[in-house]
Amino acid sequence: MNKVFGLLMVCLLSFNMAWAQEERIPAKGFAVDSKEGHFHPYDFTRHAVGDNDILIEILYAGICHSDLSSVWSEHGKSNYPMVPGHEIVGRVIATGKNVSKFKTGDYAGVGCMVNSCGECADCKADMEQSCQKGPVFTYGFHDPYHDNEITMGGYSNNIVVSEDFAITVPAGADIKRVAPLLCAGVTTWSPLHYSNVKKGDKVGVAGFGGLGHMAVQYAVRLGAEVTVFDITEEKRDDAARLGAARYVNVNNPEDLKGLDNSFDFIISTIPLPYEPFMYVKMLKKGGDLAIVGLPENSTLDITAMAFQAPNRRVYASFIGGIKETQEMLDFSIANNIYPEVEIIKADAAEIENAYKSVLDGKVKFRYVIDMSTIDKK
């Protein structure tokens, strides 16, 4: 009898353990239900921690301009309810049995992607962001690797992600300011390296917001002479403080004089409709214009004249691969390069207020939500 009871216990116990590993993870966050963009507290679950996955307790989540576009369905209809957030940093609180990069207690970051096929030429070339089967973006996307569930982002208390898509946070990092590097950092870092920007180059940064202020810091650190372009007088001093040699208010015709044929590289982070030809003309022969900002409605009004500037390249750049994101983060922490952040509480009204400031261009330069302040009830 005892033997049978013992066997039953063993069976029950192993069944329990197997079940526990399959268990979905409860999560709390902030969601919007429509393009009206009203945030509310939202309880949901995440897929179980698989053998290659880590569970991260989110500490900070950045608010990226593209979150606004997604929330408001500006690039096509979004999936709702949506929990935005693709600038995530937190602490590892559980690991799957095959995980080797992280242990419990480590800091980890997550950026714009949480999965990709891993087998196509782009994935093999460390460019998961252009996976030919489509990368799985961190929120609002169907995840074919997890029953096609819709991904939920970082405005929440936790996330489950494959260790292959989690970034190691170097020791000594100022953890409050790390999250925006995972999108704004790598998005600007990547084209600066693709175009091989080096000491003495003349670099233009068009749009001086969350992305632009990172581009300025990286270009200055690489030894370039940096000119900032924006539409306000209010950021002139900030540009100088971050090391820019020159500030151009594009609404001021005087500022624009004498700039044609003078730049080796220009990065445009402008998130609003604008005319890129002005910047193409400013390139030297052989110069590059990298476009990383996504104007609303996804349209860029570019005149055919822009293609009559011989031997200048206009190219698209889109975030960066996981390997490149790790290189960017290691470089940033080692060189003390961080975004300038304003920390807000994990509260629906605060998030909506922050969105208004981002839209009005008032933020300097990135809002970061302190997710540890989320109402745990």
Contact residues: Zn ion, CB under 5 A: 64, 66, 116-117, 120, 123, 131, 183
64 versus 220: smaller Cβ distance to Zn ion: 64
Closest CB 351 distance from Zn ion, rounded Å: 15
25 versus 117: smaller Cβ distance to Zn ion: 117
Closest CB 86 distance from Zn ion, rounded Å: 5
145 versus 246: smaller Cβ distance to Zn ion: 145
In angstroms, the CA 152 to CA 58 distance is 13
120 versus 175: smaller Cβ distance to Zn ion: 120
Strand partners, 45: 26
Q: How many CB atoms lie within 10 A of CB 130?
A: 17
Cα 15 versus chain centre, distance: 40
Closest CB 160 distance from Zn ion, rounded Å: 20
Strand ranges, E, within 47-157: 53-63, 88-95, 107-110, 113-115, 136-137, 142-143, 149-150
At residue 236, the 3 state secondary structure works out as: helix
Closest CB 119 distance from Zn ion, rounded Å: 6
64 versus 337: smaller Cβ distance to Zn ion: 64
276 versus 321: smaller Cβ distance to Zn ion: 321
Closest CB 115 distance from Zn ion, rounded Å: 10
In angstroms, the CA 87 to CA 165 distance is 13
Tell which residue, 242, 363, 266, 274, has the closest CA to residue 317: 266
Those residues whose C-beta lies under 8 Å from the C-beta of residue 361, and which sit 6 or more positions away, are: 209, 231, 232
Please state at what angle helix 184-194 crosses helix 322-334, rounded to 10 degrees: 100
204 versus 209: smaller Cβ distance to Zn ion: 209
Closest CB 87 distance from Zn ion, rounded Å: 6
In angstroms, the CA 272 to CA 83 distance is 24
Beta-strand relationship, 313-316 and 283-291:
parallel
**DSSP state, 74?**
B
At residue 29, the 3 state secondary structure works out as: strand
Closest CB 176 distance from Zn ion, rounded Å: 18
At residue 235, the 3 state secondary structure works out as: coil
